[in-house]
Amino acid sequence: MPADQKALEVDHIIPRNKGGSDDPSNFQILCYSCNASKRDTDDTDFRGTLDAYNKREAGCPFCELPEERIIGENELAIWFYDGYPVTEGHSLFIPKRHVSDYFDLFKPERNAIEALITKARDTLQNNDQTIEGFNTGANSGTAAGQTVLHAHVHLIPRRQGDVENPRGGVRGVIPAKQQY
């Protein structure tokens, strides 16, 4: 049976092999895919997750993003153009839940962002034949250059000749290390 047709599953929050009990307070309901990827290596309690999607961080520009800036979305993520684009079509992808860092995203949020990145790439390439490549990345933490502390992933379209020497790509975050 395909994963999208399988029923919800009840699973332990703290796996039994890590000391979790069979008490109902240690159970949660997950979709088949989430439960299969969680396995017994993750003790994340997802029961309050839905509530987190309704919380907004005061002063966060991404939590307060105007509707008219949204280009695309799915259940867990949003796609919009960067307000300070590096190139034309520079896009950002954020979770709907306020979380400060890429590494704090739940796997389904990463999957939702990835789906929007793929859609954006296809859309941008279909609408602009000059695009020949892309850079993708996330700045995680202020030491890495993150200025908006709401997790986000960049998709930057690249065109032949947009910089003198593109070799090294994302390695350019440390300019002396870009060329090798």
Question: Residue 53, by phi and psi: left (phi above 0), alpha (psi -120 to 50) or beta?
Answer: alpha
173 domain residue, yes or no:
no
pLDDT of res. 147: 95
d(CA 125, CA 123): 6
d(CA 63, CA 67): 11
Give me the CATH number covering residue 94. Answer: 3.30.428.10
Cβ burial of 100 (10 Å; 0-12, 13-18, 19+) is: middle
Are residue 90 and residue 150 in the same domain, yes or no?
A: yes
Are residue 10 and residue 43 in the same domain, yes or no?
A: yes
pLDDT of res. 158: 97
114 domain residue, yes or no:
yes
Domain holding 119, by residue range, is 56-163
The pairing of beta strand 91-95 with beta strand 131-137? unpaired
Are residue 25 and residue 61 in the same domain, yes or no?
A: no
d(CA 1, CA 21): 30
Pair 90, 104: CB distance under 8 Å: no
170 domain residue, yes or no:
no
90 domain residue, yes or no:
yes
pTM: 0.77
Are residue 143 and residue 66 in the same domain, yes or no?
A: yes
168 domain residue, yes or no:
no
Are residue 82 and residue 32 in the same domain, yes or no?
A: no
Are residue 43 and residue 71 in the same domain, yes or no?
A: no
Are residue 127 and residue 93 in the same domain, yes or no?
A: yes
Q: What is the pLDDT of residues 44-90, one digit of tens each?
A: 777 777 777 777 899 999 999 999 999 999 989 999 999 999 999 99
178 domain residue, yes or no:
no
For residue 33, pLDDT over 80 is answered with no
How many residues would you count in the chain? Answer: 180
